[in-house]
Amino acid sequence: MPDATGLELIAQELRAADGAPEGATSHSPILETRFFRGRGTLVVEPERIRAVLAHLRERGYSFMSSLHGVDHYPHEPRLGVVYELLDMARVDRITVKVLLGSDAPVLESVTPDTPEGAGWPTADHQEREVYDMFGVVFRGHPDLRRILMPEDYEGHPQRRDFPIGGEPVIFTYNERQAMGDAG
């Protein structure tokens, strides 16, 4: 793990490497650095996520061990997407986090290869899960469908304000009724 100073150095490097491309709301791609229980987290400007991850990949963090969503309800911006990166040679981990508002959250997908750089194929299913559970739309994802919930499910169940229970269990006898479909 980078220590607190190391984390600041990485953040400085990313700030220096990144100019201000058009469409970005602030000049720095790094909104915040957090150091907690020996683990470093970079909170990143959503538009610059691909650039930041590409830069970290060059720095050695070339393995994406996990991508998952998190909901900070009732705080805004509410939804978070967390990227856990790993440098296998130095056995070093760093967490990159993006925060998004809850109405129509859209984020650039990191799955496909683009002209700007290589993608992270491992993110494919995991981005689909975040879309399914939190409703974050990944722009440019090759096959953005629900993955764990049924295709016609309404709502995003891992959001904190989504109630537990309260939906009918579907058996053969009440399938049509529960689906609200006469066909």
**Helices vs strands, H then E, count in the chain:** 4, 7
Q: 18 or 84, CB closer to another protein?
A: 84
Residue 18 CB, shortest distance to another protein, in Å, is 24
**Helix %, strand %, coil % of the chain (to 5):** 25, 25, 50
* Interface with another protein in residues 119-138 (CB under 8 A): 120-122, 124-126, 129, 133
* Interface with another protein in residues 77-106 (CB under 8 A): 82, 84, 88, 91, 93, 95
Q: 104 or 164, CB closer to another protein?
A: 164
Residue 19 CB, shortest distance to another protein, in Å, is 28
Whether residue 50 contacts residue 110, with contact meaning beta carbons closer than 8 Å, is answered with: yes
Environment class of 61 (CB within 10 Å of its CB; exposed 0-12, middle 13-18, buried 19+) = buried
Residue 114 CB, shortest distance to another protein, in Å, is 15
Instruction: Give the closest residue to 111 by CA, choosing from 87, 144, 151.
Output: 144
**By CB under 8 A, how many residues form the interface with another protein?**
46
Chain centroid to Cα 53, Å, comes to 12
* Interface with another protein in residues 3-42 (CB under 8 A): 36-37, 39
Q: Is 160 in the site for another protein (CB under 8 A)?
A: yes
For residue 81 the two structure tokens come to 């997407």
State the Cα–Cα distance between residues 183 and 172, nearest whole angstrom: 14
The contact set with another protein (CB under 8 A) reads: 36-37, 39, 62-66, 68-72, 82, 84, 88, 91, 93, 95, 120-122, 124-126, 129, 133, 143, 145-152, 157-158, 160, 162, 164, 175-176, 179, 181, 183
